[in-house]
Structure 1
Amino acid sequence: MTYETSETSLTPAAGGPAVTSARHRPRWNKVPEVTVYFWIIKVLCTTVGETAADLLNEKAGLGLTGVSVSMSALLAVVLVVQFRTRAYRAGVYWLAVALISVVGTLISDNLTDNMGVPLETSTTVFAIVLVVVFVVWYRRERTLSIHHIDTPARESFYWLAVLFTFALGTAAGDLVSERMNLGYWLSAVLFALAIAAVALAHFSLGLDAVLSFWIAYILTRPLGASIGDYLSQATGDGGLGLGTVVTSALFLAVILGLVVYLSVTHRDVAKSEPTAERAA
């Protein structure tokens, strides 16, 4: 939770309690604290994004385009609810992340499978678009920190960035797995090592916290996708053969359990601290 530190005017009503000016009401951060729970659920959501996208495309009978439109419409509804909440709500937030994971995957798949766009091109385009989002976000708000997602503008930039991190992670992950031909398990290990290197650079070498966060956020997408593919794909294709239904249901159950736990314990709710209106 974040607060503005500008002077707050308390004007007592006649015979009544002091009233806080609407301009100086506390502003609540709309995203969770970055804890181990955050990263676990994030990876699980990316896995579900991969397997659920494949499942819907195979079973829904709508085709890739139809599934993309349906899931985008559902995501839009959930984001409206998310924007209307006054503070972070674990259930709404993580539902939005799970859906945006599916939609980001479908955007990349549509470009590759329906339009024939090479993975090199889509990866480059998504990277450029994401950089543009970050530049505009920073020029407007003077911060990219997720500790201060406390205005509609910042929340809009945040979700736009999240969408393109999923799309970029999908395209880049597919590009690496196809070009290097490592297989699902070794691909997962490769991306896990890359995330570990980012963590080491942050904690031991002083890599900027915001930069470290967003690099790791992008890398968790191909990590989760590789795990999902390893569990769901047939043994002849290098997977364990659990199928998309079992894999999606298993990970959704774990996500639901963790979200319920966090909703009850509030272990991932940001502690209140005074900050300037445009925090750095």
Structure 2
Amino acid sequence: MATHSDELGAVPRSRQTLSRVPEVTLYFWIIKVLTTGMGETASDWPAHLLGPIPAVGLGVPYLMSTPFFLLALGVVFAIWYGCEKTLSIHSIRTRRREVFYWATVLATFALGTAAGDLTATTLGLGYLGSGVMFAVAIAVPAIAHRRFGLGPIAAFWSAYVVTRPLGASFADWMAVSSDRGGLAWGLGPVTLYWTIAILAFVGYLAATRKDVA
């Protein structure tokens, strides 16, 4: 496994230039949450305009799909670690590790989507309630890392999974109609607003280089 300093971004310059992912800072997490929210409304928008499109597995209950995707993520992690002996994103310097990374991203995307829909609809928390719950949940790995010695890699991936339902829950809350508990801003406007926010943060980081260790 990678060292404690690896996950916090304090890595040698030679390794920074070879790494294919950005440093993990507060801005990384803000942009990650914004992109998940924007991706949620952007993917829903065409479907909303075109009407329902039949899809295999669309009716599978979230109560069943969430553990399935959790198992899939576990399998990806097991294979990745079995082959590379590390799950650190700062060790992604080869094509094979990059493939493992993107497979993990896809698995976390599916798991996060299912988990968000599970809490919002099946468990009845609503989009705002789910967003608040996941906002609290994403702080747990950080506290566990700083206070109770949770490893940096485990803390990172635990938080990473939560970014998907966190961003999607708040994006859905802003977009859906008031009778569904939302602000009724619409999918198109929310997609635009979140895209602007993402570009603003990325532009700010490019200008200030605050995400550079």
Long gaps (5+) in structure 1: 5-25, 66-109, 272-280
Deviation at 1:111, TM superposition (A): 5.4
Identity %, equivalent residues? 48
Shift in Å at residue 264 of structure 1?
3.7
Match of 1:147 in 2: 90
Distance 1:250 1:182, change over 3 A: same
Q: 1:64 to 1:152 in 2, by over 3 A?
A: farther
How much does 1:265 deviate?
3.7
Cα distance in 2 between the residues matched to 1:169 and 1:53 = 15
Please give the alpha-carbon distance, in whole angstroms, between the structure 2 residues aligned to 1:249 and 1:189: 23
Contact residue 172 and residue 182 of structure 2 kept, 8 A: yes
Distance in 2 between residues matched to 1:189 and 1:223, nearest whole Å: 8
How much has 1:158 moved relative to structure 2? Answer: 0.5
Q: Whose radius of gyration is greater, 1 or 2?
A: 1
Q: Deviation per CA, 1:209-229: give whole Å up to 9, x if none.
A: 111111111111111111001
Instruction: List aligned pairs for 1:100-249, cutoff 5 A.
Output: 110=55, 112-113=57-58, 116-249=59-192
Cα deviation 1:49-71 (Å, max 9, x = unaligned): 11111102122x38657xxxxxx
Higher mean alpha-carbon deviation, 118-127 vs 204-213, is at 118-127
Distance 1:49 1:137 in 2: 26
Q: Does 1:56 align with 2:46?
A: yes
**C-alpha distance in 2, partners of 1:49/1:267?**
25
Q: Matched residues in 1 for 2:53 and 2:21: separation?
A: 31
Tell whether 2:22 aligns with 1:32. Answer: yes
Contact 1:126 1:164 in 2 (8 A): yes
Q: Secondary structure at the match of 1:236?
A: helix
Instruction: Tell me the number of residue pairs that the alignment of Structure 1 and Structure 2 aligns.
Output: 202
TM-score (norm 2): 0.87
Paired AA for residue 29 in structure 2: W
Distance 1:131 1:138 in 2: 11
Q: Which runs of 4+ in 1 moved over 2 A?
A: 1-4, 61-65, 110-113, 260-269
Give the secondary-structure state (helix, strand or coil) at the position aligned to 2:93: coil
The verdict on how the C-alpha distance between 1:163 and 1:36 changes in structure 2, with shifts beyond 3 A counting, is: same
Indicate the SS of the match to 2:18: coil
Distance 1:217 1:111, change over 3 A: farther
Whether the 8 Å contact between 2:119 and 2:126 is mirrored in structure 1 is no
Determine if contact 1:184/1:226 at 8 Å carries over to the other structure.
yes
Q: How does 1:3-82 map to 2 (within 5 A)?
A: 3=14, 28-59=18-49, 61=50, 64=53
Label 1:258 to 1:64 Cα distance change in 2 as closer, same or farther (>3 A): farther
Of 163-172 and 196-205, deviating more is 196-205
Q: Is the 8 A contact 2:141 2:155 kept in 1?
A: yes
Point out where structure 2 has 5 or more consecutive residues left out of the alignment: 1-11
Contact 1:119-1:175 at 8 Å conserved across structures: yes
For residue 200 of structure 1, report the CA deviation from its aligned partner: 1.2
Output the TM-score relative to the length of structure 1: 0.67
